[in-house]
Chain A
Amino acid sequence: MARIGVFVCHCGTNIASTVDVKYAAEEMSKEKGVIISRDYKYMCSDPGQKIIKEYIRLYKLDRVVVASCSPLLHERTFQNTVQEEGMNPYLMEMANIREQCSWVHKDRAEATLKAIELIKMSVAKARMNEPLFPKGIPVERKALVIGGGISGMQAALDIAMVGHPVLLVERSPSIGGRMAQFDKTFPTLDCAACILTPKMVDVRSNPNIRILSYSEVESVEGYVGNFEVKIRKKARSVDMSKCTGCGECMLKCPSRVESEFDLGLGKRKAIYIPFPQAVPNVPVIDRAHCRYYTQGKCKVCQKVCPAEAINYEQEDEVITEKVGAIVAATGFDLSDPNDYSEYGGGRYKDVINGLQFERMINASGPTEGHLKRPSDGKEPKTIVFIQCVGSRDENLGRPYCSKMCCMYTAKHAILTKEHIPDAQVYVFYIDIRAAGKNYEEFVRRAIEQYGAIYLRGRVSRIFEKNGKLIVRGADTLLRSQVEIEADMVVLATALVARKDAVKVAQMLGIPYDQNQFFTEMHPKLAPVENVTSGIYLTGACQAPKDIPDSVASASGASVKVCALFASDELISDPMTAQVNPALCSLCKTCVDICPFRAIIEEEVQMPDGRVQRQMRVIDGVCHGCGACVASCRPGALSLKGYTDQQIFAEIESLASSF
């Protein structure tokens, strides 16, 4: 039989003026299991807490009910009070007779009756309370970062700096990501390579970071602190331990292939590194285009390689790694040019997108930094930039803003004028969104100093005529039609989620929105966390983000990882769900319901040697929402602290007070 003490608080006059606290306390002393019931002016005050502690000792209480203000305010306080007297804090219950009683009712009789019933509910629940203990789950203090762009690199560096080992997985042959493709960065116009490549070198030389380039994560099992990941290291056909990066193979390779890195504007060899500053500086053989793999003979690279690093027999290798946390930094894609056929995307050679422009104007790009029309190699004199191509477009199902197009278009306008001073730049825009440090000033500069002509309106059509591109659109400010004879058109195409974003999201247990961007735990207060504990988000896989935003979110995610790694044990809230295998039907409704992937099936060896399949809730992963419990038909699941018994006791206490 439980020994319950009830403590009714006056809260000065806050409760006592409406509720007859003395009468309530007296009524409670008649309740089953209540050993002592009393009132006091301020239960939360030092003397008040002292009374509770004294009574626990004096009356050997094993349950305490405090009837006072909201538990959201003082639950922690009174849990500590009883804990100081050696009682398990979860044996303390509160009855909210202030916010939900004395403050909302005026009639003293009604309020008193209600307060008594509320306290009875808490007494009934307290009778069913059981001591709960936080559990520790081990944490493997090693992180996996998926994606070697600026965001992933920053996250890896930050985590490594604290001293934790990091696996950085990048699917292309080199880290660097999108930023490596850029020429200059807004709003400072410093060259992207100048700030990126030193970071790449930092990553490479950091002893805590292991780069797995030309590799992909295949599967993720486990839970926070204890993930097991399988990573496929694709066959490079080049022995990384032997290759010196001399580049002889690439010089002699006879196959020329369109370069993905240059978005089709330039060529690369079948054995290649994507760009000169690649990290690691080890080429890969593109087997789809290599003469040896396609035609069975050639082997020129093997012949010329002084290090004997070429290995045509190399196979994919799948490695298994244990990590405690995962950072998803998988980045973005650009929308398909065929989406906007009215702009000749994919049809007219001189209609390119912003990233192609970046490659073209880059000194190490396919045209060595000279602006040239892809069709005839001539220098363009009139260039039209069109913003919001595929973004903010309900018809395409893409209502969102791609965020950086306004800025990079202004940058392109400036760079065009710097390369070709007598060029004329036109920019069609809907709105200029330049909210960022020094961003608005930068756009003004493009207009005022560099003379870019900004036209507010949409382009309706682009067509070719006499070797020129005729851009027909509207200037909505002048309310007139505009027609421009352009030499080149640059489309600010939408930033979209990676083509395989959904696959990655499902593998990692990350929810995604209607645009397939990854959804953070909370859009404001938990922007780098994810509902699946131990998995964090950074960069443009969440939404279009520019470099400063990506770097900031990477550092944010890293702090979360480091906080998790602060101890080799994760202490979990004890109010979690648990399974009674004897009642479980293995229907696994709970697995589908749980938003946190906290419930797993495992094989358990029974005392008689049989192996039985059982469901288990992982304590550190369960958030204690109880949705699985309410969905469990045989009642095999229960939520500690809010068990069916406890809730029934509360309901029944009301029934018996009729």
Chain B
Amino acid sequence: MEAKPETEKKEKNWEPKILAFLCRWCSYAGADLTGSSRISYPANVRILRVPCSGRVNPLFILKTLRSGMDGILVSGCHPGDCHYTAGNYNARRKFAILSRLLEYVGIDPRRVQFSWVSASERDKFAKVVSAVVADVKALGPNELFQLPDFGQMTKGPTSPDP
């Protein structure tokens, strides 16, 4: 099978990598609807499905930053719409404090963003992703956690095989 490496042009201009944690019921379904409506948005975002925004441990965000991702989006159901009634309310408290503490230690809040996107808000999802990508692009690469340290040994996959 001949396949040409089409990924080369990536190296030319730096493009931010964004990881998006989307709740299964609202935002993930919203992202699906954005797709079936063929509304395009920047390709910088990688989506990770979680059952609920309440599942997102603030430490996931630290872990993601430490792993070198340039930006993070966490998106869940609008207040009152949570499939599990209160997951997004609990999450909102955690994100509120995390957001402020990250800022205080010098991590621009635009790098870690939050949104409510319902299963029907296809335009909003595309807009949110575009906005986050633009913000992170303006901030530049996440060099915060790539300062000289003990090198790759602390950065690669750490979870052993089952």
Contact = CB atoms under 8 A, between A and B. Distances in A.
A–B direct touch in complex (beta carbons closer than 8 A): yes
Interface of A: 1-2, 20, 22-23, 26, 33, 70-73, 96, 98-101, 103-114, 116-118, 121, 124, 127-128, 130, 511, 521, 531, 575, 593, 595-596, 623-627, 629-631, 639, 642, 644-645, 647-656, 658
Contacts of B64: 651
Contact of A625 (B48, B87, B156, B158): B87
Nearest to A624: B51
A251 to B, nearest CB: 54
A648 B63 contact: yes
B68 interface: yes
Nearest to B72: A651
17 contacts: A23-B6, A104-B41, A104-B43, A104-B126, A106-B40, A112-B7, A113-B7, A113-B43, A593-B90, A625-B52, A625-B55, A625-B87, A626-B51, A630-B94, A648-B158, A651-B64, A658-B17
Contact of A649 (B19, B32, B157): B157
B35 A103 contact: yes
A630 B91 contact: yes
Nearest to A94: B49
B32 A100 contact: yes
Contact of B3 (A22, A130, A624, A639): A22
A654 B67 contact: yes
Contacts of A112: 6-7
B47 to A, nearest CB: 5
Nearest to B57: A630
Interface string B83-113: 1111100110010000000000000000000
Contacts of A656: 156-157
Instruction: Rank and list the top 3 A-B pairs by shortest CB-CB distance, nearest first.
Output: A99-B35, A626-B55, A627-B54
B157 A650 contact: no
A107 B9 CA distance: 11
Given A113-B10, A642-B50, A650-B48, A630 B85 contact: no
B161 A127 contact: yes
Contacts of A652: 67, 156-159
A234 B127 CA distance: 62
Contacts of B28: 72
Most buried by A among B46, B60, B67: B46
A563 B19 CA distance: 41
Given A104-B34, A642-B50, A627 B6 contact: no
Contacts of A113: 6-7, 10, 43
A108 B87 CA distance: 37
Given A72-B32, A655-B68, A511 B85 contact: yes
B6 A20 contact: yes
Nearest to B2: A22
Residue among B9, B47, B94, B155 with max Cβ neighbours from chain A (10 Å): B47
Contacts of B69: 651, 654-655
Nearest to B24: A72
B67 A655 contact: yes
Given A100-B31, A511-B85, A651-B64, A629 B157 contact: no
A596 B54 CA distance: 14
A73 B33 CA distance: 12
B51 A642 contact: yes
Contacts of A625: 51-52, 54-55, 83-84, 87
Contacts of A109: 6-10
B84 A639 contact: no
Contacts of B63: 648, 651
Given A104-B34, A105-B40, A651-B63, A629 B55 contact: yes
Contacts of B67: 651-652, 654-655
Contacts of A105: 40, 43
B32 A121 contact: no
B56 interface: yes
B35 A98 contact: yes
Contacts of A623: 84
B3 A647 contact: no
Contacts of B34: 99, 104
A128 B85 contact: no
Nearest to B38: A103
Contacts of B54: 593, 625-627, 630
Contacts of A118: 46-47
Contacts of A645: 159
A623 B83 CA distance: 10
A194 B91 CA distance: 54
A117 B24 CA distance: 20
Contacts of B158: 648, 652
B46 A654 contact: yes
A655 B159 CA distance: 13
Given A105-B43, A625-B54, A654 B60 contact: no
A496 to B, nearest CB: 23
Of B43, B48, B87, most buried by chain A (CB within 10 Å of CB) is B43
Contact of A26 (B3, B49, B52): B3
Contact of A630 (B10, B55, B86): B55
A100 B35 contact: yes
Interface string B3-18: 1111111100000010
A162 B151 CA distance: 69
Given A521-B85, A626-B52, A656-B156, 18 more contacts: A20-B6, A22-B1, A104-B35, A104-B38, A104-B39, A110-B43, A593-B54, A593-B90, A625-B84, A627-B91, A629-B55, A630-B54, A630-B55, A630-B57, A630-B91, A648-B63, A648-B158, A655-B69
B38 to A, nearest CB: 6
A271 to B, nearest CB: 47
Nearest to A114: B43
B162 interface: yes
B29 interface: yes
A114 B6 contact: no
A629 to B, nearest CB: 6
